[in-house]
Copies of this chain bind each other. A is one copy, B any other.
Amino acid sequence: MGLNARKQQVLEAIVESHIKTAEPVSSRSIARKYRLGVSSATIRNEMADLEELGLIEQPHTSAGRIPSQPGYRYYVDRLLKKSDLSSRDEKLVRTIFAQKARVLANMVQRTIKTVTKLTDCLVLLSGPQLENAALRQIKTVPLLPGKALVVIVTVTGWVESKVIDLPSSVTAEDLTHIENVLNTYFRGLTFQQISRTILNNVYDELIKQRKAIDRIMEIVEAVLQDDSDEAIYLGGTQNILKQPEYSDIDEVRNLMGLIEEESTLRSILLDTHPHAVTVRIGREIKCDLASNYSVVTAVYNIGGYAVGAFGLLGPIRMDYARAMAVVEYITKVLSEVLSGDTL
């Protein structure tokens, strides 16, 4: 869809004005506020063309124009000027990771809370899955018969702990032995590598102790298969309610319904291009409940392996430039911090 320069300017003006005010944009207001050097009548003519192309639409005859979903798509693809976060905002983000104790659960909470201050969107975060984190050490702590705590420390200093159930036949000595084996063979490897490696290397070595291996596998699996890791964390509900589109109670209810549907949020968040900030607008999100929203998402990684996704969800009339800047910066910093490049 090749638009001449002036049509692009008009479309850009309409999108940006509507993002700012949430109101339909009139030809006259464009002529006044954006110095295109032509009269409102000329802009009206261009608007008629843009409407024919399906990029803008009229809520009713005597109203101004608002961008259509394809209009926003055109804007995001070709008109939007990428912006960076201000250094003040970047500093704010850095404070998320200033705290010394590197506990994943805390970091997730702090990330969401902080981003909430940076945008008016709903903040979504999945993971991080530790599968691709390299192991520094595993500690096991026998608690009660049949119960032990497994503590995982990654090479980059992140701590995660889980209580697991064991066959009650496993003694404290077994556990110590298992811990030793795990640390000896697996230090520096990722969990993913462990599952592959174990069969080759360790199995032969410990063939005499079949039972111990079974236990080891149970532990590794218990740690990896914890469903709670797959939870979607979210915040900023209050934020998004400030947007004028949610002064209608039905919109609010729809939004709350969406928030409740964790599986939907998950599929939205995971439908993300692996190497770039992804923008999905309205019906581009393959989900009926969400066809009135847009999402900006990106994955973050540990040592180059995707381990989670981060995203912002807002009305279609959201500030895409800012949302993209936030998502890009957050996922960059998350990746750095989890991979240990900084700090």
Measured CB to CB, the residues of A under 8 A from B are 100-103, 106, 136-137, 139, 141, 143-144, 147, 149, 151, 153, 157, 159, 161, 163-165, 228, 237-238, 241, 246-249, 252-253, 256-257, 259-260
In the bound complex, do residue B153 and residue A159 qualify as a contact, i.e. CB atoms below 8 Å apart? no
When the two chains form the complex, which single residue of B143, B147, B249 contacts A252, counting CB atoms closer than 8 Å?
B249
Distance (whole angstroms) from the CB of A262 to the closest CB of chain B: 11
In the bound complex, do residue A165 and residue B252 qualify as a contact, i.e. CB atoms below 8 Å apart? no
In the bound complex, do residue B238 and residue A260 qualify as a contact, i.e. CB atoms below 8 Å apart? yes
When the two chains form the complex, which single residue of B101, B141, B247, B256 contacts A237, counting CB atoms closer than 8 Å?
B256
Q: Which 3 pairs from chain A and chain B are nearest by CB? A: A101-B163, A139-B141, A238-B256
Known: A143-B159, A238-B260, A247-B249. 9 other contacts (CB 8 A): A100-B165, A103-B163, A136-B144, A143-B153, A147-B157, A149-B159, A237-B237, A241-B253, A249-B249
In the bound complex, do residue A139 and residue B149 qualify as a contact, i.e. CB atoms below 8 Å apart? yes
**A100–B166 alpha-carbon span in the complex (Å):** 11
Chain B residues with Cβ below 8 Å from A257 are 238
Closest chain B residue to A147 by CB distance?
Answer: B101
**A256–B101 alpha-carbon span in the complex (Å):** 31
Chain B residues with Cβ below 8 Å from A253 are 241
Chain B residues with Cβ below 8 Å from A106 are 228
**A260–B252 alpha-carbon span in the complex (Å):** 17
When the two chains form the complex, which single residue of B241, B249, B256 contacts A248, counting CB atoms closer than 8 Å?
B249
**A161–B150 alpha-carbon span in the complex (Å):** 11
**A249–B139 alpha-carbon span in the complex (Å):** 51
In the bound complex, do residue B141 and residue A101 qualify as a contact, i.e. CB atoms below 8 Å apart? no
In the bound complex, do residue B151 and residue A143 qualify as a contact, i.e. CB atoms below 8 Å apart? yes
Closest chain B residue to A161 by CB distance?
Answer: B161
In the bound complex, do residue B101 and residue A164 qualify as a contact, i.e. CB atoms below 8 Å apart? yes
**A246–B159 alpha-carbon span in the complex (Å):** 42
**A100–B102 alpha-carbon span in the complex (Å):** 27
Chain B residues with Cβ below 8 Å from A164 are 101
The 5 listed contacts between A and B (C-beta, < 8 Å) are A106-B228, A139-B141, A141-B141, A149-B151, A149-B159
Chain B residues with Cβ below 8 Å from A259 are 238
In the bound complex, do residue B260 and residue A101 qualify as a contact, i.e. CB atoms below 8 Å apart? no
Chain B residues with Cβ below 8 Å from A144 are 136, 153, 157
**A103–B136 alpha-carbon span in the complex (Å):** 25
**A260–B237 alpha-carbon span in the complex (Å):** 10
Distance (whole angstroms) from the CB of A198 to the closest CB of chain B: 23
**A140–B147 alpha-carbon span in the complex (Å):** 16
Distance (whole angstroms) from the CB of A133 to the closest CB of chain B: 15
Distance (whole angstroms) from the CB of A182 to the closest CB of chain B: 14
In the bound complex, do residue B147 and residue A151 qualify as a contact, i.e. CB atoms below 8 Å apart? no
In the bound complex, do residue A241 and residue B237 qualify as a contact, i.e. CB atoms below 8 Å apart? no
Chain B residues with Cβ below 8 Å from A252 are 241, 249, 252
Closest chain B residue to A252 by CB distance?
Answer: B252
**A151–B159 alpha-carbon span in the complex (Å):** 13
Closest chain B residue to A250 by CB distance?
Answer: B247
**A260–B240 alpha-carbon span in the complex (Å):** 13
